[in-house]
């Protein structure tokens, strides 16, 4: 049976997470949750707070040797139903509980503890991560206030089950257009059915064998999937054009240009340029390799007590890598529950994530020196498998 919020008022992490899940924040509608977060942060005199659109950044300014940035996105995917947050046992259920309001609650809790840390901290709460990259609030900050993102290292509080998920794969969305010739369906031999011609493309996708790449012991498995199809003119017309949208998740040893070349090569046999077939890349974002040799991230790995694994999805770890800031993913919640109707995060997961990060940020080893930065696009070493 579900329990109301008052049943866990003595658990600050669950309480913060509940309040965040209770605020609807579908992409492009984050103003209310941004104001909620801003209010929480402005109540802490040890932090300076800036708001840029619906992006909120808070920073400590103690003059410590290192600065660690913790980041999380405010938005969620569209809701599956209207059911709000509710507690079942020690688990909070509701849209965004895993992706990623559990992680945001950990960030807000750590913001109250900055005076005890060995490093200066930057907290970045940003909008529009779940939609096209061009809308990202992090991109807005890069364009308008890049100074707010300066740091020695970054941790994204994405759901990882409290395991370090290193780097991330790149992502590419492309539309394959196949061409036919219109005819009456009573005389289809007079035309060429473009929808039927999609069969060759679909067979190529069905026969695809994922490539695997091992970097720093983390296995990145590429994936290629059809994610949309359209075509047709009328119920009595042989269609003269059809489109198939595909998503390609590529390992971080490829840049966007190399990934596009690979995708075109994989689909070339199923497209006929002589008929006018074409492939257009409509959205793409590069990945990022693991940077577990960074001193801070190496300590995070040690504090987690678990072996790292690859982030096979895309996250803004890649954005920070492009800025020259080593970054990784670490936060509460099972990533397999993200974007599902069964999102839930437990009190234990929230506490574990908060405790690991608290120990990391309080580590005396971080009080001196400056974390070495890994140059974006630097050398990548690994073993390739099928």
Residue 153 covered by a domain: yes
Looking at 270, 285, 300, the residue that finishes a domain is 285
Residues 114, 162: one domain? yes
Structure confidence by residue, pLDDT tens digits, 114-139: 999 999 999 999 999 999 888 999 99
**Does residue 75 carry a catalytic annotation?**
yes
Residue 378 covered by a domain: no
Asked which of 19-33, 112-126, 281-295, 370-384 is least confident by mean pLDDT, the reply is 370-384
Cβ neighbours for 180, distance < 8 A, ≥ 6 positions apart: 191, 192, 193, 194, 195, 196, 197, 238, 239, 240, 241, 242, 275
pLDDT at 369: 59
Report the pLDDT averaged over residues 211-221: 96
Residue 98 covered by a domain: yes
- pLDDT above 60: residue 3: no
H runs (alpha helix) in the chain: 12-21, 31-42, 102-111, 137-144, 194-206, 256-267, 295-304, 317-322, 347-361
Residue 381 covered by a domain: no
Residues 102, 32: one domain? yes
- pLDDT above 80: residue 2: no
Residue 253 covered by a domain: yes
Residues 279, 311: one domain? no
Looking at 226, 257, 285, the residue that finishes a domain is 285
pLDDT at 382: 41
Structure confidence by residue, pLDDT tens digits, 8-62: 668 999 999 999 999 999 999 999 999 999 999 999 999 999 999 999 999 999 9
Question: Which CATH number is 211's domain given?
Answer: 3.30.70.360
Residues 100, 238: one domain? no
Q: How confident is the model at residue 84 (pLDDT cuts 50, 70, 90)?
A: confident
Report the pLDDT averaged over residues 321-330: 97
pLDDT at 381: 34
pLDDT at 197: 97
Residues 97, 113: one domain? yes
Catalytic residue (choose from 30, 54, 75, 277): 75
Residue 374 covered by a domain: no
pLDDT at 80: 83
Residues 154, 294: one domain? yes
Residues 202, 237: one domain? yes
Residue 193 covered by a domain: yes
Catalytic residue (choose from 54, 129, 130, 158): 129
The residue behind tokens 């074409």 is: 278
Task: Give the SS3 label for residue 309.
Answer: strand
Report the pLDDT averaged over residues 80-84: 77
Question: Which CATH number is 64's domain given?
Answer: 3.40.630.10
Residues 193, 259: one domain? yes
pLDDT at 374: 41
**Does residue 130 carry a catalytic annotation?**
no
**How does the average pLDDT of the chain come out, rounded?**
93
pLDDT at 376: 39
Range of the domain at 212: 170-285
CA dist 71 and 279 (Å) reads 35
- pLDDT above 60: residue 370: no
Number of domains in the chain: 2
Residues 156, 242: one domain? no
- pLDDT above 70: residue 322: yes
Looking at 261, 285, 309, the residue that finishes a domain is 285
Residues 23, 101: one domain? yes
Share of the chain above pLDDT 70, in %: 93
Residue 372 covered by a domain: no
Residues 154, 303: one domain? yes
Residues 224, 278: one domain? yes
């Amino acid at each position: 049976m579900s329990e109301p919020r008052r049943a866990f008022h003595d658990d600050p992490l669950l309480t913060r997470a509940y309040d965040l899940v209770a605020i609807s924040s579908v992409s492009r509608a984050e103003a209310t949750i941004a104001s909620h977060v801003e209010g929480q942060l402005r109540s802490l005199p040890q932090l300076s707070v800036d708001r840029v659109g619906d992006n909120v950044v808070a920073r400590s300014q103690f003059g410590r040797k290192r600065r660690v940035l913790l980041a999380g996105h405010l938005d969620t995917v569209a809701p599956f139903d209207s059911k709000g947050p509710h507690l079942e046992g020690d688990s909070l259920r509701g849209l965004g509980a895993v992706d990623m309001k559990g992680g945001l609650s950990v960030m807000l809790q750590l913001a109250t503890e900055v005076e005890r840390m060995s490093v200066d901290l930057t907290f970045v709460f940003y909008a529009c991560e779940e939609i096209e990259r061009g809308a990202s609030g992090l991109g807005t900050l890069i364009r308008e206030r890049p100074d707010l993102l300066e740091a020695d290292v970054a941790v994204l509080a994405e759901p990882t089950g409290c395991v370090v998920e290193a780097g991330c794969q790149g992502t590419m969305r492309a539309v394959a257009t196949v061409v036919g010739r219109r005819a009456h369906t009573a005389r289809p031999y007079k035309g060429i059915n473009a929808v039927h011609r999609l069969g060759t493309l679909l067979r190529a996708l069905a026969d695809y064998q994922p490539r695997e790449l091992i970097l720093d012991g983390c296995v990145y498995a590429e994936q290629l999937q059809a994610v949309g199809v359209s075509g047709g003119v009328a119920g009595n017309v042989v269609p003269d054009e059809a489109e198939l949208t595909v998503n390609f998740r590529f390992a971080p040893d490829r840049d966007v240009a190399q990934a596009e070349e690979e995708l075109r090569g994989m689909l070339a046999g199923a497209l006929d340029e002589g008929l006018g077939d074409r492939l257009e890349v409509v959205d793409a974002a590069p990945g990022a390799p693991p940077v577990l040799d960074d001193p801070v991230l190496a300590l995070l790995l040690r504090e987690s007590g678990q072996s790292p694994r690859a982030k096979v999805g895309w996250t803004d770890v890649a954005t920070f890598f492009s800025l020259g800031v080593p970054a990784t993913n670490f936060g509460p919640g099972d990533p397999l529950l993200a974007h599902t109707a069964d999102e839930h995060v437990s009190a234990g997961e929230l506490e574990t994530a908060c405790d690991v990060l608290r120990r990391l940020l309080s580590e005396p080893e971080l009080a001196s020196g400056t974390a070495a930065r890994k140059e974006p696009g630097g050398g990548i070493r690994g073993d390739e498998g099928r």
